[in-house]
Structure 1
Amino acid sequence: MKRVTILLFLLSAIMLNLLSACDGLDEHYSTNPNHRLSFSIDTLSFDTVFSTIGSTTKELMIYNNNSEALNIESILLAGGGTTGFRINVDGRKGDSFNNVSILAEDSMYVFVEVTVNPNDADQPLLIEDSIVFVTNGIQQSVLLEAYGQDVYLHKGGLTITKDTVLSAKRPYLIYDNLVVEEGAKMTIEKGAIFYMHDNANIVVHGSMNANGTQNEPIIFRGDRLDFILDNVLPYDRTPGQWGGIYLKNTSFDNTMDYVIVRNGTTGITCELSEPEHSKLVINNSQITNMSKQLFFAINCNVTAANSEFSNARNSVVTLVGGKYYFAHCTLANYMTLLSRDPSSQTLRLANNATVDKNGPYPITQAHFDNCIIDGSWSAGEKDYEGEIQITSGGEWKVENTDFDYLFNHCMIKTKGVANTNFKDVIFLSKSPSYLMMGEKENKYSFDFRLASEEEEGIGKADLSIAQKYPKDRYGINRLTSTGPTIGAYEYDPSQKE
């Protein structure tokens, strides 16, 4: 018993000495004015922040690279909380903090958020503040900045019940769904931007006319403006950020010109319709980067020209029954952020297929003029596989087909030979070189313009078709001395990334 008592006494004495030593640290702060703080960044910038919608949280690191502990006499927001910025210092929220200690060779987090008040302006407004640190009488600061953007905010969704023109003065921020009721027409002004919240969709029972211009396209995208990986991968290049556009079975005579639809789940879905009546005419547009299928149509009438359909986990273009015409389009699947579905080719044509036990739906026509059909898969071992799949009643049909399909002056990643359905086609055993292919160094961006004058498709497009579409999506003239280029983009030797 005596030994236990002695042991407890010794342990108590050791603990008291350790506590005294720790208390002593608080009494030995450096008073040297040359001992200053260091910071991970001198300006903490936020991407555009929608008014009334709080930002994501960003972090700032404070470093004491000195050999002695420092007492930070004060940390405060210069604007006193009036600018909308908020800080959290070492786990505590507030606008100002006094006597914050930081040990020698140690660091500390400061977390920053901002909520911007409406400014009744159509253009973004710069909001600035700073975090001021005072140590040993020396003042240091880190600048805070954000652009506040007023938006047309629809948190409960938006329903169009009659013919309506949507202005492009401010962006739209859509929660839930944007719905166009049957019998109503939604016309969108050039330059309009739609920021779609997680799982939000555009559902059209009536009709949609989205006609932008080359300099003022209409954009549908997710509402996250920051990075999923700092300065590496933006949310705006990450698939699955919102839902998709659904043209319902009562929706006809839709038009899209100079429209960009990106980074959603399902892209554009044209639901079961009547091939005798135009479902969609889409020109000079880009549909890209979807976490499921990208463009899907059942028994519809669709015309597409000068447009890019690219990158999806599932197929890029799936056409089940109906009537279709694609001219000078680039269909490409090099999805890198998700694994491609092994059963989903870039282009799938399904004649006499059934959907949900309904059908079968015959393809009355599927013609492709001057198009690129390419992807990351090999050309395949059998003829007409690779990045295309053509079925009729569930069976492969490539010879003596019982429906009208034609590939004229196209480049196709497949092993094949010319026949009446494949006229002057370049069968690709390997992919062409494109300007940008989603590398980390260019923040996973893609540019499907041909990169070199040595590529096979340059000057090989059908001239009679090119004359109907004399300019590409970027306004480059196809009728030049190099001759028309296959795909959505004319090769231009002076082009830059």
Structure 2
Amino acid sequence: MQKLPIYSLLALLLMMVALPACEEFDENYSTNPNLKLRFSVDTLAFDTLFTETGSTTRQFMIYNRNKEALNIEQIRLAGAERSGFRINVDGRKGSEFEHIDIPAGDSLYVFVEVTIRPHDQDQPFVMQDSVLFSYNGNNEFVLLHAYGQDVYLYKNGGEITTDTTFTATRPFLIYGDLVVAPGATLRIEEGATFYMHDKANIIVHGSLLAEGSEELPITIRGDRTDYIIPSLPYDHSPAQWGGIRFMPESYGNKLDYVYIRNGNSGLDCLPATPDERKISITNSRISNMGGNLLKAVNCDIEVINTELSNARDTLVAIRGGKADFIHCTLANYMSVAGRRDTTFTLYLSNNLSKEQTAPLTVRFDNSLIDGNRNAGKSHTEMGGEIFFDRNENETFAYHFNHCLIKTAIEEDPNYTNVLTIPASTGSSYTLFFKTGSKKNEYSYDFRIAKNDVVAVRNADPEVAARYPIDRYGVSRTEGAFAPTIGAYEFIHLEEEETE
């Protein structure tokens, strides 16, 4: 008689031991209808999802907290293929499962995904389904809930070759690069929203005219609507997409009431000539970038009534050219990713490269420049929030008028009624309502918090009269605290009213 190898005998013995145990376990499921399962949620909700794109995977738990094992006779997705939801029960994909075992005190995972089909409608809509559970005469369910939104989808980017208007009827979802070709103008209507996928860019060779309003601003942001952790939504995290690049031949760009956030390279104005206006930015908010927030090389730019806030690299970098900042708030309190060590809120230079220089002429009126760095001993030293990279053989003209800045300054005719935030103020010196924390989901509000802050009442009234309202419509010329330095006129606000 042929002998079995030793490992075959061992495997046979293990099977003989295991089988009776399984049979005994199978025969000891409780059929008592009073023993109930528990679920970690009664409704599993998804954030707004765009049609034709899949969701992230979410999950809920099934708990058997009884002292006896239970057998779930059936787990079934009620809508099956109709709703777009998909489930995975304890590692198995499908829409219906039978005789699922849960030992006493044990639990199971149910994973859920959804892809929403287009509905050809402009307004968001609701998609629902249910996961049904049948056991011992009990029928229970967990509701699945998602909001869907039809979008204008640019799946592989796209090129705008003729004058084109993007309306606000539906959001735009951009994958890849959206390119405005030379000679073409892309006009964006008020209220339009752009959701930019990972590494997506807007590249402008022609012109971009994004003209929002106080009531209907234009929004350009990342496409993730879910959370990294419960206290941090992706919408408050930088580097969710690429940025907006204005190429050397691009001029006449305008951004009015535009909110741009969470990109990587922010607004990048490539080398041009200051003989023609490169870009005008008014009544806008540009925030939370993974690199520089605004960079311009030998350009003519104008920024008015605008907040420029939070970047891992230097917030605003101007190399050569012309720049005017009027009633702006430049604030870098980046806390989600942290600022890099050698960065500044404002960097001014007349060096374009190691070999090339260009004249620089910049002016700041009624503007606030702050950050979470120490003020330093001099504005030419590391440490302050303003840094001058000056070539003495080239024009380096600057003027700060009625500004509040965080840097040390000496006697300088280029400063007119400039106030400073000294190095010794520390965390007790509160300028703003919110500068980012886990408690408020890392949100920021750079409006002035108190009426005793030196920014209040100290703006140049003649300049304020030329720009009589801030981007929230608050008057700069009326009231006991007018006018205020920065993008926002001071008004009394309770913290819960802030953004």
- Normalising by the smaller structure, the TM-score range is over 0.9
Once residues 492 and 217 of structure 1 are traced to their aligned partners in structure 2, the CA distance between those partners, rounded to angstroms, is: 22
**Equivalence for 2:401:** 408
Counterpart AA for 1:146 = A
**Equivalence for 2:252:** 253
Are residues 1:115 and 2:115 paired? yes
Are residues 1:86 and 2:73 paired? no
**Which stretch shows the higher mean deviation, 15-24 or 118-127?**
15-24
Are residues 1:380 and 2:376 paired? yes
**Equivalence for 1:290:** 289
Counterpart AA for 2:28 = H
**Equivalence for 2:164:** 164
Secondary structure, in 3 states, of the residue corresponding to 2:275? coil
Are residues 1:40 and 2:22 paired? no
**Equivalence for 1:218:** 218
Give % identity: 49
Once residues 433 and 188 of structure 2 are traced to their aligned partners in structure 1, the CA distance between those partners, rounded to angstroms, is: 31
TM-score, normalising length: structure 1: 0.93
Secondary structure, in 3 states, of the residue corresponding to 1:440? coil
Counterpart AA for 1:48 = T
Instruction: State how 1:176-195 maps to structure 2 within 5 Å.
Output: 176-195=176-195
**Equivalence for 2:333:** 334
TM-score, normalising length: structure 2: 0.93
In the alignment, is the contact (CA less than 8 A) between 1:418 and 1:424 conserved in 2? no
Runs of 4+ aligned structure 1 residues displaced above 4 Å come to: 8-19
Once residues 354 and 348 of structure 2 are traced to their aligned partners in structure 1, the CA distance between those partners, rounded to angstroms, is: 17
**Equivalence for 2:439:** 441
CA change 1:14–1:222 in 2 (3 A) is closer
**Equivalence for 2:359:** 362
Counterpart AA for 1:93 = K
CA change 1:380–1:483 in 2 (3 A) is same
* Alignment partner of 1:371 out of 363, 367, 373: 367
Secondary structure, in 3 states, of the residue corresponding to 1:46? strand
1:344 positional shift: 1.4
Once residues 34 and 74 of structure 1 are traced to their aligned partners in structure 2, the CA distance between those partners, rounded to angstroms, is: 18
CA change 1:273–1:40 in 2 (3 A) is same
**Equivalence for 2:471:** 473
CA change 1:228–1:11 in 2 (3 A) is closer
**Which stretch shows the higher mean deviation, 120-129 or 447-456?**
447-456
Counterpart AA for 2:359 = P
In the alignment, is the contact (CA less than 8 A) between 1:411 and 1:426 conserved in 2? yes
CA change 1:411–1:17 in 2 (3 A) is same
In the alignment, is the contact (CA less than 8 A) between 1:290 and 1:311 conserved in 2? yes
Secondary structure, in 3 states, of the residue corresponding to 1:65? coil
Counterpart AA for 2:24 = G
1:432 positional shift: 3.6
**Which stretch shows the higher mean deviation, 218-227 or 411-420?**
411-420
**Equivalence for 2:349:** 350
Once residues 11 and 171 of structure 2 are traced to their aligned partners in structure 1, the CA distance between those partners, rounded to angstroms, is: 67
Deviations 1:445-469 (A, max 9, x none): 1111111122111111111111111
**Equivalence for 2:64:** 64
In the alignment, is the contact (CA less than 8 A) between 2:220 and 2:261 conserved in 1? yes
In the alignment, is the contact (CA less than 8 A) between 1:133 and 1:139 conserved in 2? yes
Once residues 209 and 61 of structure 1 are traced to their aligned partners in structure 2, the CA distance between those partners, rounded to angstroms, is: 49
Secondary structure, in 3 states, of the residue corresponding to 1:464? helix
Counterpart AA for 1:360 = T
Counterpart AA for 1:362 = P
Once residues 26 and 438 of structure 1 are traced to their aligned partners in structure 2, the CA distance between those partners, rounded to angstroms, is: 55
Deviations 1:378-420 (A, max 9, x none): 0013355400001212x7x9xxx95320111111111224521
Deviations 1:295-340 (A, max 9, x none): 0000000010110111111100000000110011010111112231
CA change 1:20–1:299 in 2 (3 A) is same
Secondary structure, in 3 states, of the residue corresponding to 2:470? coil
Counterpart AA for 1:444 = Y
Q: Which residues of structure 1 form unaligned runs of 5+?
A: 1-7
CA change 1:23–1:261 in 2 (3 A) is same
Are residues 1:198 and 2:198 paired? yes
CA change 1:13–1:163 in 2 (3 A) is closer
Deviations 1:165-192 (A, max 9, x none): 1111111111111101111111001111
Secondary structure, in 3 states, of the residue corresponding to 1:24? helix
**Which stretch shows the higher mean deviation, 41-50 or 413-422?**
413-422
**Equivalence for 1:306:** 305
**Equivalence for 2:236:** 237
Are residues 1:102 and 2:97 paired? no
Secondary structure, in 3 states, of the residue corresponding to 2:179? strand
Secondary structure, in 3 states, of the residue corresponding to 1:287? strand
Secondary structure, in 3 states, of the residue corresponding to 1:130? strand
In the alignment, is the contact (CA less than 8 A) between 2:451 and 2:481 conserved in 1? no
* Alignment partner of 1:455 out of 437, 440, 453: 453
1:16 positional shift: 4.2
In the alignment, is the contact (CA less than 8 A) between 1:418 and 1:425 conserved in 2? no
CA change 1:368–1:11 in 2 (3 A) is closer
1:19 positional shift: 4.5
Once residues 109 and 465 of structure 1 are traced to their aligned partners in structure 2, the CA distance between those partners, rounded to angstroms, is: 62
1:255 positional shift: 0.4
Secondary structure, in 3 states, of the residue corresponding to 2:462? helix
**Equivalence for 2:388:** 390
Deviations 1:63-112 (A, max 9, x none): 11111111011111121331111100011111111110111111110000
**Equivalence for 1:133:** 133
1:13 positional shift: 7.2
RMSD over equivalenced CA pairs, Å: 2.0
1:133 positional shift: 0.8
**Equivalence for 2:151:** 151
Secondary structure, in 3 states, of the residue corresponding to 1:140? strand
Secondary structure, in 3 states, of the residue corresponding to 2:374? coil
**Equivalence for 1:5:** none
Counterpart AA for 2:475 = N
Aligned residues: 482
1:12 positional shift: 8.2
